[in-house]
Amino acid sequence: MEIHFGKESVLMKLFDSHCHLNDKSYAKDIDQVLGRMADAGVGAAMLVGVNREDSEKAVRLAASSPVLYASVGVHPHDAATCSEETLAALSALAAHPKVRAWGEIGLDFNRMFSPRDVQERWFLRQLETADDLDLPLIFHERDSGGRFLEILKATHGERRRGVVHCFSGNRRELSAYLDMGYHIGITGILTIQQRGAELRALVPAIPMDRLLIETDAPYLTPAPQKNRTRRNEPAFVVSTLLKLAEIRGEDPEVLAAATWNNACRLFGIPLES
């Protein structure tokens, strides 16, 4: 896709590294959403599972398109529904060639849809399972008071790979994630004037080879699209990329290529797929 950035036109291919096209909000117009994704130059997207049923749906959808991939896992909100049977089923599902990650997993002590001890138990078990399968991880953290980072440090192994989805932490946490070798996922929050201020201050400190861009669609619609629609979609990741390039003072075409390569390497996808 050719995009005008200042006075220049750039040709970019983007990877939406985290979205939920398996969400019911896309049931009636998924073909149109994928069409707009292609028109925007978004050449690939990772569909992220949040429970067993949702993961199964993500894999089915990914199998229907050459540009879609899937992850399987149980979100901390859904931890109360997890079981060893669930993990066994997800492990079997992970054998599908379109499954390239395990997640979204982690801790969320903000809304507490699942009790803290239950979240921690199944976070640990999913870390073990993903490590056994040698799958990269997609992490979710919100208001864990340092407990998420504590668990990651206690269980860290050199082979473990992953991305901290929708990073919203502080500089100390960012440094810790980078020290463990993790990638950092940047969403449309970056484009929001007040909510994104702290994130905009931190993104210049992230090495280019650790950056991923993501929509978290249908959530976190970036500016200016949020003024027209509440539902986010992969095509809108362009806005995040352009804002990221502006803040970091980098050529958007170079940054697009870097984030594409980063996502492909992390998820084990051929760079020219």
Query: What pLDDT score does 10 carry?
Result: 44
Position 113: which residue type? F
Q: Is 272 labelled a binding residue?
A: no
Q: Is 209 labelled a binding residue?
A: no
Which domains, ranges and CATH numbers included, belong to the chain? Answer: 15-267 (3.20.20.140)
Q: Is 77 labelled a binding residue?
A: no
Q: Is 255 helix (H, G, I), strand (E, B) or coil?
A: helix
Distances (CA, A) of 245 to 159, 186, 194, 198, 204: 30, 12, 19, 16, 10
Query: What pLDDT score does 7 carry?
Result: 38
Does pLDDT of 109 surpass 80? yes
Q: Are 12 and 39 in contact (CB under 8 A)?
A: no
Q: Is the pTM of this model over 0.85?
A: yes
Name the residue among 166, 158, 112, 176 with its Cα closest to residue 141. 166
Query: What pLDDT score does 271 carry?
Result: 77
Q: Is 140 labelled a binding residue?
A: yes
Does pLDDT of 43 surpass 50? yes
Does pLDDT of 75 surpass 80? yes
Q: Is 96 labelled a binding residue?
A: no
Lowest mean pLDDT among 10-14, 16-20, 191-195, 234-238: 10-14
Query: What pLDDT score does 5 carry?
Result: 39
Nearby residues of 30 by Cβ (< 8 Å), 6 or more positions away: 21, 61
Residue, of 25 and 11, whose pLDDT is higher: 25
Task: Kindly tell me the burial class for residue 230, based on how many C-beta atoms sit within 10 Å of its own C-beta (0-12, 13-18, 19 or more).
Answer: exposed
Give residue-wise pLDDT tens across range 139-161. Answer: 999 999 999 999 999 999 989 99
Query: What pLDDT score does 6 carry?
Result: 40
Give residue-wise pLDDT tens across range 225-259. Answer: 998 999 999 999 999 999 999 999 999 999 999 99
